Amino acid sequence: MEGEGGKSEVIVAVVTEPQFTQHCREYLEKHRLLDRRHRVKQLPDGTMALPILGETLSEQHLQALKQRGAPDSTCRLAQILNPVPSKKSQNCSPAQKLCQELRCLVEGQGHTWSAELEKDLPHSWQRHGDLLLLNEDSFRAAHWKKLEPGLWKTVASALGGQRLAKRGRVSPGGTRAPKVILLLGAHGWVEHVDNGIRYTFDVTQSMFSFGNITEKLRVASMACAGEVLVDLYAGIGYFTLPFLIHANAAFVHACEWDPHAAAALRKNLELNGVVDRCCIHLGDNRQLKLWSIADRVNLGLIPSSEEGWPTACRVLRQDTGGILHIHHNVESFPGKELQLPSSSEAGQKEQRAARNSGRQTPAKIAKLEWQKWAEAVAARIGALLLQLHGKPWETRILHVQPVKSYAPHVDHVVLDLDCRPFSCSGEGVGKAERSCGQGPKV
């Protein structure tokens, strides 16, 4: 007989006559030996099987059971194949199931279940196919060490997975490499399909940013046919791939200094059949040896991509210019004094209106901060372009896109900045609006 997933499950039970079932249950409950995850089962010969925790029962418990029952009761141990889950365990959430299973594991090994252990269980996790990625704030108690390696099998199976990994803090360095340890399984490679694109990566080496989905969809909707794009922070290809596959960019130069992310990016380009339209530049993008080739540059690094701005200006086409997509975390604390640059009449008007009406809602304050930040960036990029090319450029805010809020009052936004040398700005601005598909708005 086979259980779910083609596997048979065997548990141990105390078998006794029907009239002694209640007595036996009370004894097992009192000594915390009854396995509540499975139902008491009637065997073909009419005897009753009461599931127990752990793999055996001490001789002492068996004797005590017999002595306290009627003298002619039989109490023996037997193995039960594919036990029926109890109603309680069928109706519970994965987190409750995990708690039940671990309690059984701990008590089955003769230890005491405690509030400290219960508090130390994970409340959320990421599912990557059959691999479950736990947060760093779980399984920190020293006691869990005593239960390894069986512990991880129990956790994975309770949560419906086969491999298990646990996250540490994202290291503050530029690679944003997560410290992820594989607890169960042979490797950390996983696959995701996102908007028709296949992404594979090793969870112990690279991160997958689920929070970027809105921006990935927006990128996918852009019309970039015939364009050359430079992706300065390519990672495993979060934006490189939608630019190539959905936005139809002709060619992408993808910069990435982390070899693990670059290896995943190569696999992803191959998986999606676009490897011949991308060149991976492994190394620090500030040393990139490209000049005046890009119609578009993506700067997908938070909290700030400012260190990449000079490179972005260098790779932008000198003759026609192009568009920069600049990611940034903008802060907008409620008490913050709003001071828009004098160049922004519209912004100042809006700010005055908000002040006068006394309706400076957090959303309004945030929008004004985004505008203020975008204008400062436009001015800074304009100055960089002038310095690099020795002639003035027009920088125009096309759009500021919110991506994700990091409470409190920190928003990941993307600025679409149109940059044209003055000599061709009339023609260039028109192209920008066509290719981005949206007018200048915040």
Ligand X SMILES: C[S@@+](CC[C@H](N)C(=O)[O-])C[C@H]1O[C@@H](n2cnc3c(N)ncnc32)[C@H](O)[C@@H]1O
Pairwise CA distance, residues 316 & 411, whole Å: 27
Closest approach of ligand X to the CB of residue 399, in Å:
18
- By beta-carbon proximity to ligand X, the closer residue of 227 and 258 is 258
Q: How far apart are CA 173 and CA 81, in angstroms?
A: 52
- Cβ proximity to ligand X: between 61 and 176 the closer is 176
Which helix (H) or strand (E) segment is 15 a member of?
strand 10-16
CB of 127 to ligand X, least distance (A): 19
Which C-beta is closer to ligand X: that of 300 or that of 421? 300
Which residue's CB comes closest to ligand X?
Answer: 300
| Cβ-based nearer residue to ligand X, 85 or 174 | 174
| Contact pattern from residue 256 through residue 295 relative to ligand X, giving x for each residue in contact according to CB under 6 A and a dash for the rest | xxx--x----------------------xxx---------
Task: Please identify, using beta-carbon distances, which residue of 102 and 288 lies nearer to ligand X.
Answer: 288
Stretch that binds ligand X, among 44-52, 79-87, 178-186, 235-243 (CB under 6 A): 235-243
For the bound state, the minimum distance from the C-beta of residue 330 to ligand X, rounded and expressed in Å, comes to 15
Q: Which of 27, 152, 238, 251 binds ligand X (CB under 6 A)?
A: 238
Based on CB atoms, which residue is closest to ligand X, 310 or 440? Answer: 310
Site for ligand X in 18-77 (CB under 6 A): none
Strand partners, 16: 48
d(CA 155, CA 165): 11
**Least separation in angstroms between CB 128 and ligand X:** 15
In the complex with ligand X, which residue's Cβ is closer, 235 or 347?
Answer: 235
Residue 433 binding ligand X, by CB under 6 A? no
- Interface residue with ligand X among 80, 106, 301, 398 (CB under 6 A) is 301
DSSP string for residues in 50-95: EEBSSS---HHHHHHHHHHS-TT---EEEEEESPPBPHHHHSS-HH
Pick the closer one to ligand X by CB: 113 or 257.
Answer: 257
Q: Using alpha carbons, select from 396, 398, 387 the residue that is nearest to residue 425.
A: 396
- Residue 117 carries which side chain, given as an amino acid letter? L
Q: Which of 51, 242, 300, 421 binds ligand X (CB under 6 A)?
A: 300
Tell me how far apart the alpha carbons of residues 336 and 370 are, in angstroms, rounded to a whole number: 13
Q: CB 264 → ligand X: shortest distance, Å?
A: 9
Residue 426 to residue 433: CA distance in whole angstroms: 12
Burial pattern 373-390, b for ≥16 Cβ within 10 A else e, equals bbbebbeebbebbbebbe
Q: Which residues contact 45 (CB under 8 A, 6 or more apart)?
A: none
Alpha-carbon Rg for the chain in angstroms: 31
Dist CA 282 CA 316 (whole Å)? 20
Pick 189 or 239: Cβ nearer ligand X = 239
Which residue in the set 89, 126, 209, 405 belongs to the binding site for ligand X (CB under 6 A)? 209
Binding of ligand X by 423 (CB under 6 A): no
Taking the complex as a whole, the smallest distance from the CB of residue 284 to ligand X amounts, in Å, to: 5
Query: In 3D, which of 19, 11, 96, 100 has the Cα closest to residue 56?
Result: 11
Nearest-approach distance from CB 212 to ligand X, in angstroms: 5
In the complex, minimum distance from the CB of residue 300 to ligand X, in angstroms, rounded to a whole number: 3
Q: Are strands 189-194 and 197-202 parallel, antiparallel or unpaired?
A: antiparallel
Instruction: State the pairing for strand pair 296-299/228-231.
Output: parallel
Helices of type H across 6-164: 21-30, 59-68, 87-90, 94-108, 115-119, 150-158
Is residue 176 a contact point for ligand X (CB under 6 A)? Answer: yes
DSSP helix/strand/coil, 102: helix
- Beta carbon nearer to ligand X, 128 or 396: 128
Dist CA 38 CA 51 (whole Å):
7
Interface with ligand X (CB under 6 A), residue from 28, 190, 197, 255: 255
Comparing CB distances to ligand X, the nearer of 308 and 421 is: 308
- Tell which one of 3, 129, 174, 430 touches ligand X (CB under 6 A): 174
Question: Cβ(422)–Cβ(394) under 8 Å?
Answer: yes
Report how many residues bind ligand X under the rule CB under 6 A. 19
Q: Which stretch binds ligand X (CB under 6 A): 144-152, 153-161, 244-252, 255-263?
A: 255-263
Sites of contact with ligand X (CB under 6 A) = 174-176, 209, 212, 233, 235, 238-239, 255-258, 261, 284-286, 300-301
